[in-house]
Structure 1
């Protein structure tokens, strides 16, 4: 394959187009996202609960969720990172896409007011509540190798958990997308290295994800590879599935960025 050399003028023109596109995207975005959701987490109206699952430390759980339903993921029994993956229930070749989620919103900081995209440019989730803001969309979950190096033999990891739940859903390990790690305070330092910021999480943190399409979801409750604790002791995580509720026309997640607006337009066109 012949390598194409671009002139300095062409490179400069491409950069200028990129920077102009970025500027327009950032100008459209809100100057400041809402403050974190309040702690302690407000009680849930029992009439809204469709199902509630407690995922033990080291284990996994999968579920099918309807469009408009919300999942509250809560650390009610202590700190634990929980990773998630998702596929469209209509066509499982459409799946969670974190690189596009980052590129389309010009940020790796996923928090209240942001959305999570699929690889088809559609919105899978809206982050409607979030007390944490400390989530990792860059590194993914743990693997057998990372656990072995840190904890030795005999611990469960997210990669193997996702293979198990994907197999039960009739999928292959090649179908597993990069995982979003909730409650994982990972940041990139000035040298471009990943750093774990232990000061960011709060006791009792929670996040609420509103489903914007019908999906198959998988969760894995295993320590993040950068978690500084030398002890393998993930706490149980509570996932509560809430029934469909009305969404306002000026809903922040649906209007915060030009990319989110286009994503929801793609969602609407797919249902026509």
Structure 2
């Protein structure tokens, strides 16, 4: 495959790109323990977008995993494959815990965190470039984020397990708009309390 793009995404920053069908994206966690939030839309019709419910329901029929790893197919709200994970050094990625926002920061960490930068702000910045707004925010994937489910059903954000240079790779099953927030969260251990840069390689 031919390298099309090699992009450095700074800590806390957003990024977006249209990945053509058959192209591959590799997200590299350069320094370890960096959560990368991602949204997916059909680039030809953005009303079709990633659905955690459809994705996890399909996985339940194939063994019941609630997380994502190599072989996982991310499905749209129409049940169609959007991207397929083809390589993964981490072993699991979250699709349940959602993205941080000013509102969730207040609830989880106190009113003084209200104005801290969040993934929701990053998403809205990138979506505006494509004529979309907060009404187009949907469930997201949290690459490299360690979110175990406790025996009582509680979701807990634990320390990330990705090593420096850890990666996840996926191939586009349709032309797909990928919107990324290199998570700025500093109040829980999803980024090791210190957001760091990532690298994104696109091949085709």
TM-score (norm 1): 0.67
- Where does structure 1 lack aligned partners over 5 or more consecutive residues? 1-46, 244-272
Determine if contact 2:158/2:190 at 8 Å carries over to the other structure.
no
Question: Over alpha carbons, which structure has the higher Rg?
Answer: 1
Moved over 4 A (4+): 223-226, 229-232
Across the aligned residues of Structure 1 and Structure 2, the Cα RMSD in angstroms comes to 2.3
Are the equivalent residues in 1 in contact too, given 2:73–2:82 (CA < 8 A)? yes
User: Are 1:86 and 2:40 matched, yes or no?
Assistant: yes
**In 2, distance between residues paired with 1:68 and 1:198?**
33
Counterparts in 2 of 1:14-163, with a 5 A limit? 48-106=2-60, 107-147=65-105, 149=109, 152=113, 155-163=116-124
Task: Point out which structure has higher relative CO (alpha carbons under 8 A, 6+ apart).
Answer: 2
Paired residues, number: 197
Q: Which runs of 5+ in 2 are unaligned?
A: none
Decide whether the 8 Å contact of 1:73 with 1:237 is kept in 2.
Answer: yes
Q: Per-residue CA shift, 1:88-107, capped at 9, x if unaligned?
A: 11111000111110011112
**What is the CA–CA distance in structure 2 between the aligned matches of 1:88 and 1:230, rounded to whole Å?**
29
Distance 2:144 2:173 in 1: 22
Change (3 A) 1:97 1:224: farther
Task: Name the counterpart of 1:256.
Answer: none
Please tell me whether the aligned partners of residues 34 and 191 of structure 2 are also in contact (alpha carbons under 8 angstroms): no
Deviations 1:170-221 (A, max 9, x none): 1121112111100001010101111234374333210001000001110001
Which structure shows the bigger proportion of residues in helix conformation? 1
Give me the TM-score of the superposition, normalised by structure 2. Answer: 0.88
